[in-house]
Amino acid sequence: MPSHLAVILSGAKNPPAKPVRAADNAANQNVRGVGEALRAEILRLFEPQNDERGERGENVKTAWVYIMANTHRTIYVGVTTNLDRSVWDHKNRAFDGFTKRYGLTKLVYVAEYSRIDDAIVWEKSLKGKTRAKKLALIAEQNPRWNDLAWNWYDEAGNRKRPQ
C-alpha cells in the first residue's frame, strides 16, 4: 500500500511531504532497528512476571547494583535481578572474563532498587565515576571491605541462607 494511503487510512490529518520509497523505509528500519532490537531484548530479559507489576503496569522487579572486588581492591560494577545467582557465579568463577581473570570474589557493595531501569541508570552512573569515587562509595557502606556474602554458601557451593 502506498505510504500516503496508509496515512489517510490511519486518520492522520496531513500526508507525508514526500512519498517514502519502500527501500528507504526498509533501510531506515534496519538502522533504527538495531538499537531498538537491543533495547527490546534487554527489557525482555528483565521483564517481570504478572505478579511483579505495579498498579500502572510498570516494571517493579527488584534489582541490585553490586560491586565485586579482590584482595588487591580491583573492582567490578554490575547489575542483576538475581543477586544470589550473580554472586555465586563470581565466587565460583563460572564465566570467563574480567572477574574470573582477576579473581573478583568478594561482594563489597550492594544497592537494592525496586525497578530494574533505576538500577541500570545507577550502574551506568557508577561506571562513569572515577575510581576514587567508587572506592569512597564502598568505604561509606563497607569501610573494612568485608565480603558481604561471606556466609551465603557452604563449602559445596550450596546456598545456606533462606531465599
Q: What is the pLDDT of residues 1-25, one digit of tens each?
A: 444 434 344 444 444 444 444 444 4
45 grid coordinates: 530479559
Q: How far is CA 140 from CA 107, 114, 135, in A?
A: 14, 22, 9
pLDDT surpassing 70 at residue 50: no
pLDDT surpassing 80 at residue 59: no
What are the backbone angles phi and psi of residue 26, rounded to the nearest 5°?
A: -65, -40
Sign of CA dihedral 6, 8, 12, 14: positive
What does pTM read for this prediction? Answer: 0.62
pLDDT at 153: 81
The residue whose grid cell reads 561471606 is 150
- Where along the chain do its domains lie? 3-45, 63-141
pLDDT digits (tens, 9 = 90+) for 80-102: 999 999 999 998 888 899 999 99
Architecture of domain 63-141: 3-Layer(aba) Sandwich (3.40)
pLDDT at 62: 94
Bridging pattern class, strands 106-113 and 63-69: antiparallel
